[in-house]
Amino acid sequence: MVDLSLYLVTDSTPAILKGRDLCTVVDQALQGGVTVVQYRDKSNDTGVMVETARKLHQITKKYNVPLLINDRVDVALAIGAEGVHIGQDDLKYEEARRLLPENAIIGISTSTVEEAKKAIADGADYLGIGTMFATPTKTNTKSVIGTAGTQAILDAISDSPVGTVSIGGINHSNVQRVIYQSQSPKKALDGVAIVSAIMAADDPTASAKHFAELIKNPPRFAVASTAPRPNEVEALLTEVPQVVRKMVEVHPLVHSMINIVVANFVANVVLSIGASPIMAPYGDEATDLCNLDGALLINMGTLTSESVSNYLKAIKAYNERGNPVIYDPVGAAATHIRRNAVSQLMAGGYFDLIKGNEGEIRQVWGSSAVQQRGVDSGPSTLDGKQKATLARDLARRERNVVLMTGATDYLSDGERVIAVENGHPYLGQVTGTGCAIGTISGCFLTAHRSDRLLAVLSGILMYEIAAENAAASEHVRGPGSFVPAFLDELYAIRTAVAKGDDSWFVGRA
């Protein structure tokens, strides 16, 4: 079968070629390790296409790489190309199959489960699945499906050995995440199809080489996490005190891009638990800050016109270094602007942890879930079991950890689901107490990398047990006196832990 791993799709428009010769660019890309070439030309006359395709075929043969022709079975036949790639609005599969030689390769573009199943039933050799991300290279695409939509397709066709490539907006900074997050338990992408990131690159050889390197390895953020562990809450709880001790010893740093209402309170919480807060909303600063090897928190509570681009710069910097990134989609469903921000951020980077209340988590689930997997945003209506299921499904889909907060918190890594009942109603009466959970999760994710669910669980328990202790204090009469007592109790746990005293935890979770 064809090696689909690095699939180059050509483009003859001036914006991409920038005055260079198409055949030269393709030759350079092949030198860098492209494994299959599709000649796609939407503007030239048939005569020019046949002539260009013939030249391209001479080149691809040198590298022993198949040449496929987009849409035009006649051009493929005229030059004896190895096959064709057809879209949903092109010649039908049966017609192409009838016209072409028996061993010709036929690939089909698909963007839904139904199209994918039909293409497999017809006999397609491979599927182009997309559009992954919106792209200026092709603006008339049917739908942008993201990694969630791609994963849903791979899941639905996992019993078929058909080849698969993802296409649309794939570049060096997202290719590893595309492959990682699209993967369903039983089927992964065989490759990625690229136009502009290779064709328009100043050095197509270097660009292709870089892609070839990247696709061999998982993203850095995926390396640290362990294989799934059994859902044994009791066993996990026995490990909590040592994770808290590790966090206290490591003094982790956490960079928060957080809303202005709670920044001061959250910084004080971080100091109380023995970690270091940096509150920095300026995206360009993240390229330096990520080198300090802390975590990044994105909290979109006071979103502005510049927030999303700042967040995306920071997320990219931390993702590239493999340092933890936490997303708190505050008010995710509240406005059109925020719903858009959720989609952009979910498409733009990887989050080790997504933390939000029920409405926010539902919005995150629905905004990037196509393929009839969407859930309407709206008032809370889920019971405990449904909440646990949603947290688990979102974590499974995004391949991360999800924390749905509420009177009971639901925490999942896609396999294990834990309900946490600790805390106190005063936490709901003070602004910033929810936001602080995102930031302190960053401290714990930094200190304990091998089991992200255990790290977040340890943080929540330290936090909520401190809240219970504070509320029980005789000096606390309401939310006002609760705040200083709460900081004191966090500090008290941290000081006890540093001395090796775990009594704060015994019998409390």
- Residue with tokens 């939310």, as numbered in its chain: 479
Torsion of the alpha carbons at 379, 385, 386 and 389, rounded to the nearest 10: 140
Residue span binding ligand 3NM (CB under 6 A) among the ranges 161-169, 294-302, 325-333, 395-403: 161-169
Residue 168 CB, nearest distance to ligand 3NM (Å)?
Answer: 4
By beta-carbon proximity to ligand 3NM, the closer residue of 169 and 348 is: 169
Q: Which of residues 183-212 bind ligand 3NM (CB under 6 A)?
A: 194-197
Q: Is position 125 an interface residue for Mg ion (rule: CB under 5 A)?
A: no
x/- mask, ligand 3NM, residues 34-63, rule CB under 6 A, reads: ------x-----------------------
Residue 204 CB, nearest distance to ligand 3NM (Å)?
Answer: 13
Q: What share of the chain is helix, strand, coil (3-state, %, to 5)?
A: 50, 15, 40
Q: Which of residues 227-266 bind ligand 3NM (CB under 6 A)?
A: none
By beta-carbon proximity to ligand 3NM, the closer residue of 145 and 248 is: 145
Selection from ligand 3NM, Mg ion, none that 167 binds (CB < 5 to 8 A by kind) is ligand 3NM
Q: Which of 131, 147, 371, 458 binds ligand 3NM (CB under 6 A)?
A: 131
Residue span binding ligand 3NM (CB under 6 A) among the ranges 132-140, 259-267, 278-286, 358-366: 132-140
Q: How many CA atoms lie within 13 A of 1 on its CB side?
A: 13
* 502: Cα separation from own chain's centroid: 36
The C-alpha angle 188, 174, 155, rounded to 5 degrees, equals 25
Query: At residue 425, what is the residue type?
Result: P
By beta-carbon proximity to Mg ion, the closer residue of 85 and 449 is: 85
64 three-class SS: coil
Number of residues counted as binding ligand 3NM (CB under 6 A): 18
Residue 34 CB, nearest distance to Mg ion (Å)?
Answer: 20
Residue 380 CB, nearest distance to ligand 3NM (Å)?
Answer: 36
By beta-carbon proximity to ligand 3NM, the closer residue of 34 and 194 is: 194
By beta-carbon proximity to ligand 3NM, the closer residue of 10 and 181 is: 10
By beta-carbon proximity to ligand 3NM, the closer residue of 141 and 164 is: 141
x/- mask, Mg ion, residues 331-370, rule CB under 5 A, reads: ----------------------------------------
Residue 413 CB, nearest distance to ligand 3NM (Å)?
Answer: 31
Q: How many CA atoms lie within 13 A of 376 on its CB side?
A: 4
Q: Which of 146, 169, 359, 434 binds ligand 3NM (CB under 6 A)?
A: 169
Closest CA to 435 of 312, 248, 276, 301: 301
Q: Which of 50, 79, 170, 427 binds ligand 3NM (CB under 6 A)?
A: 170
Tokens of 63: 């590298």
Tokens of 331: 């008010």
Q: Which of residues 77-106 bind Mg ion (CB under 5 A)?
A: 87, 90
Long-range contacts of 118-122 (CB under 8 A, 24+ apart): 119/93, 119/162, 120/157, 120/160, 120/162, 122/93, 122/94
Closest CA to 206 of 31, 7, 36, 60: 31
What letter does residue 499 receive in the DSSP assignment? Answer: T
Selection from Mg ion, ligand 3NM, none that 90 binds (CB < 5 to 8 A by kind) is Mg ion
What is the DSSP code string of 362-409? Answer: HHHHHHS--TT------S----HHHHHHHHHHHHHHHTSEEEE-SSSE
Element (H, E) at 191: strand 191-194
Closest CA to 299 of 403, 398, 439, 394: 439
Q: Is position 71 an interface residue for Mg ion (rule: CB under 5 A)?
A: yes
By beta-carbon proximity to ligand 3NM, the closer residue of 200 and 417 is: 200
Residues in the chain: 509
x/- mask, ligand 3NM, residues 137-156, rule CB under 6 A, reads: xx--x---------------
Buried b (16+ CB within 10 A) or exposed e, 252-280: bbbbbbbbeebbebbbbbbebbbbebbbb
Active site residue 290: no
Tokens of 69: 């022709």
Closest CA to 447 of 325, 324, 327: 324
Selection from ligand 3NM, Mg ion, none that 71 binds (CB < 5 to 8 A by kind) is Mg ion
Q: Which of 23, 290, 435, 443 is the catalytic position?
A: 435
| Spatial CB neighbours of 180, under 8 Å, sequence gap ≥ 6 | 218, 219, 222, 350, 399
| Spatial CB neighbours of 469, under 8 Å, sequence gap ≥ 6 | 489, 492, 493, 504
Q: Which of residues 85-124 bind ligand 3NM (CB under 6 A)?
A: 109
By beta-carbon proximity to ligand 3NM, the closer residue of 138 and 399 is: 138
Q: Among all residues, which ones are annotated catalytic?
A: 435
Give the interface with ligand 3NM as residue ranges (CB under 6 A).
9, 40, 109, 128, 130-131, 135, 137-138, 141, 167-170, 194-197
Give the interface with Mg ion as residue ranges (CB under 5 A).
71, 87, 90
